[in-house]
């Protein structure tokens, strides 16, 4: 049995695994079963002692963390639209009047004064955005678990999207299974035992919000309802409800205070529905009671097996698009639980842990970002705290974008939809911010947004007064088009991209010293340049993001055959942007001036000025070798170790520089216990999910990089992964890429394009041109590259 990794997991075996999974789901309920896991899983010998050991399930809208404690289990519950406060407009009405003076202070180099002035005049009111809130806990107290539990095992099956707990007390085997169903819109949690009538427990609920109550309805339903907390002076405007229905097989149910006691059941199905009154950032008229009541009523007509089978099938349809195999774990590693492997990983070579991390990231994005739901926030959708770190918001100066880095290359197209929906919203609220704050057309979003789609600069000028967050998000809208090539979709997002560009047409300023067009005020996220503040004109990252945005707007206008005059204006503006600069240490300058050595923190976590190398594509060792060398120098200076997401970014950057061993050594740090919690959540620290996604993107970038019609295979294969394969990666324009290698050398690459077209396939310094037919795979062997592929 494959305990933990995914040895030899090929496409064919994947198909075989499907029938195993289906057989599990079809096994009659009532007994703890021995399940051999066909796909990748996380597993543990002990219950979760704390939240970062618990296991996440989610359907993109609701989710839970399962602790798996034997006597008193805890399901910590989340609903993606439960945030603090209500609809609000944070734009500071004084901002516009102060903008000219602020710009002048920055031109004059009076950065400290500029920061004081900005804090007094242009920042959002209120200065903080809303935070994401937990719904509460469902507690399951086992009433007859007297003796010691043995044979305990807790796991998360990433292929079936199912968490389970198994243990034995006396002669009885107990099992609990949990899924988050997208189709039924419920969490389904089943308790079963090998002995009839063995289940005796009490279920109750608590909530960390200020205003809530639990009612017992009939003898079988707990209803937790409440109002969300205010956010500062912004009163709570949401109503929410979590409805929990118990469906026992045999036994009795009895109301017990604010809980329900189950006695003598052979099996217990617990169905959990959650909803809030949120409909849109400006509309809170939803009816959570009606929603949860209808969902519970429908789900109660179905069995756990049916719900779990549908959940697994819907998940696998997307999850199995990609299969990664980085070799077999040694027997010693295969015998280790996931938390033990994480602890051991820095000192041993465990390529399968990287494969598991990759699979887990794809599982997580599928579980927290699905069409119709909210985008993945700083914690995906899993949060137990009423005051989570950074509000568990959308920080759009790196973190939200990083959440979606693996989406296109690892074929999670559907997961991008909530991000696109969020950008559609902030294009509306951001128009108000652009007009009121800058007197500009178009729209703008600064470094954060929240459920209410606030877009004004928050927290403090040195972090928040950065106008390029929305523009960066637009590049993800474009990527979705580039990978999927859906013209109707492009038409629908074009006005948003156009609006983002229009804002900069109206607000870019001519730098008096260089004559170039620059942003002002702005900053290089969130690094102080050592001259009194972080505020500055034209940081490198802004120029990079704007070059990308402008290029993509012009390309879109061309494809849609529209807006030619505007496209000309955008092109002309792009040519006047400040170009990259190389500084005295040979580094790529982070700022317009050669101040990298003066920075407050030369090892700063953000590597914003390297955006052009990754996620952007303006710098690479072939087309811009000097800039690539400078970027490498900057990376050397910054150092390898940083917070979780910043470590993940470095992996991607080294992969783009084609240094697989360096990327791998940084990945080893990311996967070790300093940056990975026992449940494999990324540790900033604290938990922040971006590192999981950035790490997975890094692994993909080590194995394949694609841009335009160029597909670069094994661009940064580390020596630590001599043999392996990855199937189902994506390149732009609906092309799927399978790569296998042995002894550190390409075995074969298989390309399948949905539309016929020419591609350049690169291996090392050799490139082959292939004409791909539509729908039929073309295979290139490593030997073909050896035998004289042209450069």
Residues near ligand FUC (CB under 6 A): 378, 390, 395, 399, 526, 605-606, 643, 645, 684, 688
Q: How far is the CB of 635 from ligand FUC (least distance, A)?
A: 18
For ligand FUC, the closer CB: 284 or 545:
545
Residue 188's CB is within 10 A of a number of other CB atoms, namely 26
CA dihedral 620, 626, 630, 631 (to 10 degrees): 0
For ligand FUC, the closer CB: 325 or 459:
459
Q: How far is the CB of 687 from ligand FUC (least distance, A)?
A: 11
For ligand FUC, the closer CB: 133 or 605:
605
| Cα 71 from chain centroid (whole Å) | 33
**Whole-angstrom distance, CA of residue 116 vs CA of residue 478:** 37
Q: How far is the CB of 650 from ligand FUC (least distance, A)?
A: 14
For ligand FUC, the closer CB: 84 or 182:
84
Decide if 464 contacts 472 (C-beta within 8 A).
no
For ligand FUC, the closer CB: 267 or 450:
450
For ligand FUC, the closer CB: 614 or 721:
614
For ligand FUC, the closer CB: 427 or 646:
646
Q: How far is the CB of 453 from ligand FUC (least distance, A)?
A: 18
For ligand FUC, the closer CB: 688 or 701:
688
Decide if 630 contacts 612 (C-beta within 8 A).
no
Q: How far is the CB of 377 from ligand FUC (least distance, A)?
A: 10
| Helix locations, 219-337, DSSP H | 288-299, 304-319, 331-334
**Whole-angstrom distance, CA of residue 462 vs CA of residue 448:** 13
Tokens found for residue 438:
């800058």
Q: How far is the CB of 596 from ligand FUC (least distance, A)?
A: 18
For ligand FUC, the closer CB: 155 or 401:
401
Decide if 645 contacts 688 (C-beta within 8 A).
yes
Tokens found for residue 734:
């609906």
Decide if 222 contacts 214 (C-beta within 8 A).
yes
For ligand FUC, the closer CB: 185 or 377:
377
**Whole-angstrom distance, CA of residue 546 vs CA of residue 500:** 10
736 forms bridges with which residues in the sheet?
A: 730, 752
Residue 773 has what DSSP assignment? Answer: P
Angle, helix 644-656 to helix 625-638, in steps of 10 degrees? 150
> Among candidates 745, 667, 737, which has minimal Cα distance to 702?
667
**CA distances, 188 to each of 183, 300, 311, 360, 390 (Å):** 12, 10, 10, 21, 31
Decide if 375 contacts 414 (C-beta within 8 A).
no
In sequence order, the 6+-apart residues with CB closer than 8 A to the CB of 425 are 280, 281, 453
**CA distances, 225 to each of 46, 114, 381, 460 (Å):** 33, 47, 20, 36
**Whole-angstrom distance, CA of residue 634 vs CA of residue 527:** 14
For ligand FUC, the closer CB: 350 or 690:
690
Q: How far is the CB of 493 from ligand FUC (least distance, A)?
A: 26
**CA distances, 616 to each of 39, 619, 620, 697 (Å):** 34, 8, 10, 13
Q: How far is the CB of 114 from ligand FUC (least distance, A)?
A: 20
For ligand FUC, the closer CB: 683 or 727:
683
For ligand FUC, the closer CB: 139 or 688:
688
Q: How far is the CB of 683 from ligand FUC (least distance, A)?
A: 12
Q: How far is the CB of 604 from ligand FUC (least distance, A)?
A: 9
Q: How far is the CB of 384 from ligand FUC (least distance, A)?
A: 17
Q: How far is the CB of 678 from ligand FUC (least distance, A)?
A: 21
Q: How far is the CB of 649 from ligand FUC (least distance, A)?
A: 11
**CA distances, 318 to each of 178, 311, 411, 566 (Å):** 20, 12, 8, 39
For ligand FUC, the closer CB: 338 or 652:
652
Q: How far is the CB of 396 from ligand FUC (least distance, A)?
A: 9
DSSP, residue by residue, 57-83? EE-SSEEEEE---SSEEEEEEEETT-B
Q: How far is the CB of 472 from ligand FUC (least distance, A)?
A: 13
Query: What ranges make up the beta strands (E) of 250-293?
Result: 252-256, 259-265, 267-276
Decide if 255 contacts 178 (C-beta within 8 A).
no
**CA distances, 300 to each of 133, 190, 262 (Å):** 27, 13, 17
Q: How far is the CB of 388 from ligand FUC (least distance, A)?
A: 10
Is the peptide bond prior to 677 cis by the omega test (within 30 degrees of 0)?
Answer: no
For ligand FUC, the closer CB: 293 or 647:
647
**CA distances, 77 to each of 184, 204, 606, 755 (Å):** 17, 13, 32, 44
For ligand FUC, the closer CB: 371 or 386:
386
């Amino acid at each position: 049995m494959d305990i933990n990794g995914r040895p030899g997991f090929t496409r064919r075996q994947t198909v075989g695994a499907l029938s195993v999974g289906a057989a599990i789901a079809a096994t009659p309920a009532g007994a703890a079963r021995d399940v051999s896991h066909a796909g990748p899983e996380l597993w543990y010998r002990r219950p979760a002692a704390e939240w970062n050991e618990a296991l996440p399930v989610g359907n993109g809208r609701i989710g839970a963390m399962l602790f798996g404690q034997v006597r008193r289990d805890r399901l910590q519950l989340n609903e993606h639209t439960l945030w603090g406060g209500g609809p609000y407009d944070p734009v500071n009405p004084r901002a516009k009047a102060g903008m000219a003076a602020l710009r002048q202070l920055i031109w004059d180099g009076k950065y400290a004064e500029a920061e004081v002035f900005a804090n007094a005049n242009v920042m959002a009111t209120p200065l903080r955005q809303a935070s994401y809130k937990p719904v509460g806990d469902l507690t399951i107290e086992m009433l007859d678990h007297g003796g010691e539990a043995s044979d305990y095992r807790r796991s998360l099956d990433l292929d079936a999207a199912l968490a389970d707990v198994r243990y034995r007390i006396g002669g009885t085997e107990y099992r609990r299974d949990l899924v988050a169903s997208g189709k039924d819109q419920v969490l389904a949690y089943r308790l079963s035992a090998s002995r009839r009538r063995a289940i005796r427990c009490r279920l109750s609920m608590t909530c960390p919000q200020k205003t809530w109550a639990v009612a017992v309805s009939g003898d079988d339903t707990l209803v937790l309802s409440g109002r969300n907390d205010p956010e500062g002076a912004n009163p709570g405007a949401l109503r929410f409800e979590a409805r929990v229905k118990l469906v026992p097989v045999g036994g009795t149910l009895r109301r017990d205070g604010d809980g329900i006691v189950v006695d003598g059941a052979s099996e217990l199905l617990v169905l959990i529905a959650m909803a809030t009154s949120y409909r849109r950032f400006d509309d809170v008229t939803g009816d959570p009671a009606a929603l949860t009541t209808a969902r519970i009523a429908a789900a109660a007509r179905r069995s756990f097996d049916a719900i779990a089978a549908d959940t697994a099938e819907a998940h696998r349809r997307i999850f199995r698009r990609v299969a990664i195999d980085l070799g077999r774990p040694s027997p010693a590693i295969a015998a280790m639980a996931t938390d033990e492997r994480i602890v051991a990983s820095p000192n041993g070579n465990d390529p399968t842990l990287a494969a598991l991390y990759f699979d887990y990231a794809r599982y997580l994005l599928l579980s927290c970002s699905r069409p119709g739901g909210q985008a993945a926030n700083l914690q995906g959708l899993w949060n137990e705290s009423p005051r989570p770190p950074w509000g568990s918001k959308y920080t759009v100066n790196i973190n939200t974008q990083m959440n979606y880095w693996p989406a296109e290359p690892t074929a999670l197209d559907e997961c991008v939809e909530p991000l696109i929906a969020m950008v559609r919203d902030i294009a509306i609220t951001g128009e108000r911010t652009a007009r009121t704050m800058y007197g500009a057309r178009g729209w703008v979003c600064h470094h954060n947004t929240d459920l209410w789609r606030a877009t004004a600069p928050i927290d403090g000028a040195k972090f928040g007064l950065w106008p390029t967050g929305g523009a960066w998000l637009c590049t993800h809208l474009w990527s979705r088009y580039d990978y999927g090539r859906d013209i109707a979709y492009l038409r629908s997002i074009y006005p948003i991209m156009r609006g983002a560009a229009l804002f900069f047409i109206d607000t870019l300023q001519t730098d008096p010293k260089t004559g170039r067009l620059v942003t002002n005020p702005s900053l290089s996220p969130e690094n102080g340049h050592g001259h009194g503040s972080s505020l500055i004109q034209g940081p490198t990252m802004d120029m990079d993001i704007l070059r990308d945005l402008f290029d993509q707007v012009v390309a879109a206008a061309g494809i849609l055959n529209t807006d030619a005059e505007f496209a000309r204006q955008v092109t002309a503006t792009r040519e006047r942007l400040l170009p990259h600069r190389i500084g005295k240490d040979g580094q790529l300058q982070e700022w317009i001036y050669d101040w990298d050595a003066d920075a407050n923190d030369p090892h700063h976590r953000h590597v914003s000025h390297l955006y052009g190398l990754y996620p952007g594509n303006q710098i690479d060792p072939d087309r811009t070798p000097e800039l690539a060398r400078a970027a490498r120098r900057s990376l050397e200076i910054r150092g390898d170790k940083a917070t979780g997401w910043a470590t993940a970014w470095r992996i991607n950057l080294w992969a783009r520089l084609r240094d697989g061993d360096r990327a791998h050594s940084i990945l080893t740090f990311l996967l070790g216990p300093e940056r990975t919690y026992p449940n494999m959540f990324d540790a900033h620290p604290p938990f922040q999910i971006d590192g999981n996604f950035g790490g997975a993107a890094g692994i993909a970038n080590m194995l394949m990089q694609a841009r335009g019609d160029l597909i670069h295979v094994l661009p940064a294969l580390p020596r630590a992964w001599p043999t392996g394969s990855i199937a189902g990666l994506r390149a732009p324009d609906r092309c799927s890429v399978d790569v296998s290698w042995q002894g550190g050398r390409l075995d074969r690459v298989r390309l399948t394009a949905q539309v016929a077209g020419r591609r350049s396939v690169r291996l090392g310094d050799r490139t082959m041109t292939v004409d791909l037919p539509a729908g039929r795979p073309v295979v290139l062997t490593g030997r073909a590259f050896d035998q004289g592929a042209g450069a």
